[in-house]
Chains A and B, each alone.
Chain A
Amino acid sequence: MPLYYDDDQTMLAETASQFMGEEGSIKNQLRHWRDRNCKDGFGHGLWKQFAEMGFTGMLVDEDDGGLGMGQVEANIVLEEIGRNLTPSPFLSSSVLAATALKHGSNDVKGRWLPDLIAGEMVYAVAVDEGRKHRPERIACKAERSGNGFRLSGKKDFVVYGASSEMIVVAARTSGSDSDTDGVTLFAVPQDAAGMSHDSVRLVDSSMASHITFDGVELDGDAVIGEVDGGRDVLNAMLMAGRVGSAAEGVGVARGAMDMTVDYLKQRKQFGKVIGEFQALQHRASHLYSEVEIARAVTIKAAQLLDAGSEKADLMASVAKAKVAKVAGLAVREGVQMHGGIGMTDEYDIGLYMKRDRALQEFLGDQYYHAGRVAELSGY
């Protein structure tokens, strides 16, 4: 498969670009909700519009009422989300949770998918325990209790957790904390007794929860996939989420770069447009080169994932790590090249820096994923 968009994908990219550039713009969404101190951190109205556009269920199989598209298509939407810094539960709900739910029983799917597709509900995922992404270690416990399970433990960095009607929780049903086996995924409803959120605003104005499960009673039908066999589902979910967040990062990098290159063409100092200075030209061109590479590997990872290739896991980590490096460079160069006004809240470039910082941490930063590339390569 060639590494560029086919006609349908090109059309989707145009549609998503126009939609996100208008409805999802920084002014209409990020600043709008932030300046009103919105407790959700995103707009439910826009989420309904995502549903109308067909975005919410794009990864859901057609048999389950979705569009049956692939990661490449979801990434197209995510790149536009990144470019416009559009706050939205799309990545958590429509990529991560939707990927996990693919592995659920018909009952589980029937309970959760229609409201996701309709934009009526928002879902989150609870994987991390502690400050860094370490999904190899799952300590949060779900013990057998009657016909169901009793969930105890803590989860961190549950993005939009407090606004979500359901949370996909990775918990341990057997074995010890670092075992590969013995993990089970649960669809935990918002109103489950014993679940408490400590919801905090993050640097990028998004919201994330520290969640405590204090003996939360779950029915057996809350299980997604097989009991003790959740590692494969978790890995599939994480892979989709990593490739998806790489795509969002590419959008952040491109947005920051475009804004900066425009600025270099306008700002005058020493009687010249500063874009005439070779010191800045070379840095901008280096950045361009890196952004192109990051975008290429992200498309590659998405294609491999859609093709079910065994290389997808490695390339997902390559993409996540590469994009993290490059998006970090883009926002740092962006703020520096904007000079003093880059430090002001009035200009948008600082918002890119904040979003990039949050995205870096989500599902593993560049150090985690570079380490993973080494491990998967056998050293």
Chain B
Amino acid sequence: MSDSDLEAFRAETRAWLDAHCPPEMREPVRDEDDIYWGGRNASFKNDAQKAWFEACRDKGYTVPAWPKDYGGAGLTPAQAKVLREEMSRIGARPPLSSFGIWMLGPALLHFGTEGQKQRFLNEIARGEIRWCQGYSEPGSGSDLVSLQTFGEDKGDHWVVNGQKIWTSYADKADWIFCLVRTDKANKYQGITFMLYDMASEGVSTKPILLISGNSPFCETFFDDVSVPKSYGEDVPAYVGEVNRGWDVAKYLLGHEREMISGADGGDRTSAIGAALTRANGEIDPVLRAELAQFDVDALAYSAMGEKFLDEIKVGKAHPAQPNMMKYAGTELNKRRHELIMAAGGSHALEWESEDTGGGKPSRNWLRTKANSIEGGTSEVMLNVISKRILDLPGA
């Protein structure tokens, strides 16, 4: 696509956004329900959210880079970048967020059958089914491949027993993509990437109360859950092959790390010194120095994020580079929130006040502590860099 075509696309996009993105949807996201997550039981917070979602859904802009046949808009990477830039220019909220978009979708696009893509991708793009991810178990965190949830082969179906933990929004999800052991004798090649309905008999969830006071994660229990091996012609109930689910999981971990690293931009990579100084009045000179040091690191990291995305697009990035991005990005974000707390003083300690939006600064600060744990801990990221990039022995 030539530059002039791209500029024409930019002009079209601007006009379309002007016409379809309501002013309310250009406000910064303040609460969880400011974002629409879709699903069978979803409701819209207001008319603007509904209008914005529906406009995007009809245009394919909930998943702009997916093919049109699967509910996307079929944009090229360059067009998708233009759309991102134009949305970010006006501060447009994402019309729909979900693990289906971030995780299952990319897995299906890479490993799925045509039948799976037709059904599941369209459901995701239209916000009809909300997915959750069943990876971690109580005894399998960083050492994920040791997972024990077991699916016993009963011919045309499996009977699944076990427990998952840190299942994000499992209590609100319709379906789960889940790593299930199907061969106890084979560690890596004995796991199947299954898809099944959370309404199935024997599935139960229990929210986990976190230090932030929120409960975005659940324990999820499977008690003799019957999972059929197929949902119809060309729609198997697993992604990839039976017993080869680890390949899919590894592929997705790369995606998750990119996402958590904030490589796609967002506020976690931006400078904060000016805003914090304006918001909090006088700043101790030593804290000001810390803010300046942070801003140096944050602005440098945002250049890294840009370089990383540019290189991924043309296949120049080292395949293990997302691990480095995830490590650096999450550590930076934790520092960011330490500084927000320090600059905010006693105001930032308020846990329930209206003035702090119900304790936003402190709850967010606590939430960021999970950044360097979820999706692979910083320590695991450093192990991977040692082994795959630096080629250090025994790593």
A interface residues with partner B (beta carbon < 8 Å): 2-4, 261, 264-265, 272-273, 275-276, 278, 281-282, 284-286, 288-290, 292-294, 296-297, 299-301, 314-315, 318-319, 321-322, 325, 366-367, 369-371, 373-374, 377-379
Contact = CB atoms under 8 A, between A and B. Distances in A.
B288 A286 contact: no
Given A4-B307, A276-B393, A379-B273, A318 B300 contact: yes
B8 interface: no
Interface of B: 271, 273-274, 277-278, 283, 288-289, 291-293, 295-297, 299-301, 303-304, 306-308, 310-311, 313-314, 316, 321, 324, 327-328, 379, 381-383, 385-386, 389-395
Contact of B392 (A275, A289, A301): A275
Given A264-B392, A300-B303, A288 B292 contact: no
A129 B271 CA distance: 32
B382 A370 contact: no
Contacts of B295: 318, 370, 373-374, 377
Contacts of A296: 300, 303-304, 306-308
A289 B293 CA distance: 17
A4 B311 contact: yes
3 closest residue pairs by CB, A with B: A3-B307, A285-B385, A276-B394
Given A285-B385, A285-B386, A297 B291 contact: no
10 contacts: A3-B310, A285-B327, A288-B385, A289-B324, A296-B300, A301-B303, A371-B289, A373-B273, A377-B295, A379-B273
B302 to A, nearest CB: 8
A378 B392 contact: no
A296 B308 CA distance: 9
Contacts of A293: 297, 300-301, 303-304, 328
B383 A374 contact: no
Which of A276, A278, A289 counts the most chain B CB atoms within 10 A? Answer: A289
Contacts of B306: 3, 296, 300
Contacts of B303: 3, 293, 296-297, 299-301, 315
A345 B292 CA distance: 37
Contacts of B395: 275-276, 278, 281
Contact of B304 (A265, A273, A297): A297
B392 A2 contact: no
B67 to A, nearest CB: 25
A292 B311 CA distance: 13
B55 to A, nearest CB: 31
Contacts of A3: 303, 306-307, 310-311
B386 A284 contact: yes
Contacts of B314: 2, 4
What is the predominant secondary structure among interface residues of chain A facing chain B? helix
A4 B327 contact: no
Given A261-B392, A296-B307, A299-B307, A373 B296 contact: yes
A315 B277 CA distance: 21
A273 to B, nearest CB: 5
Which of B274, B296, B314, B389 counts the most chain A CB atoms within 10 A? Answer: B296
Contacts of A374: 273, 288, 291-292, 295
Contacts of A297: 299-300, 303-304
Contacts of A286: 327, 382
A281 B296 contact: no
Contacts of B382: 281-282, 285-286
A282 B292 contact: no
Nearest to A325: B296
A378 B277 CA distance: 9
B296 A370 contact: yes
A292 B292 contact: no
B328 A318 contact: no
Contact of B274 (A284, A289, A325, A377): A377
Contacts of A264: 392
B288 A321 contact: no
A321 B292 CA distance: 10
B336 to A, nearest CB: 15
A210 B116 CA distance: 74
A377 to B, nearest CB: 5
B292 to A, nearest CB: 4
A290 B301 CA distance: 9
A14 to B, nearest CB: 15
B378 to A, nearest CB: 9
A288 B292 CA distance: 23
A263 B288 CA distance: 39
A377 B303 CA distance: 17
B310 A2 contact: yes
Contacts of B392: 261, 264-265, 275-276, 281, 284
B310 A370 contact: no
A281 B386 contact: yes
Given A288-B324, A325-B296, A379 B304 contact: no
Which of B291, B297, B299, B314 counts the most chain A CB atoms within 10 A? Answer: B299
Nearest to B271: A377
Given A297-B304, A299-B303, 13 more contacts: A2-B314, A4-B311, A265-B391, A275-B393, A281-B392, A285-B386, A286-B327, A289-B324, A296-B300, A321-B296, A370-B295, A373-B271, A374-B295
Contacts of A273: 393-394
Given A293-B300, A296-B307, A379 B390 contact: no
B304 A318 contact: no
Contact of B296 (A2, A292, A318): A318
Contacts of A299: 303, 307
A2 B317 CA distance: 13
Which of A288, A319, A325, A374 counts the most chain B CB atoms within 10 A? Answer: A374
B386 A282 contact: yes
Given A4-B310, A276-B392, A286-B382, A370 B293 contact: yes
B92 to A, nearest CB: 23
A4 B316 CA distance: 9
Contacts of B327: 285-286, 289
A314 B299 CA distance: 10
A104 B356 CA distance: 56
Contacts of A275: 392-395
Nearest to B318: A292
A265 to B, nearest CB: 6
A315 B299 contact: yes
A93 to B, nearest CB: 28
A379 B283 contact: yes
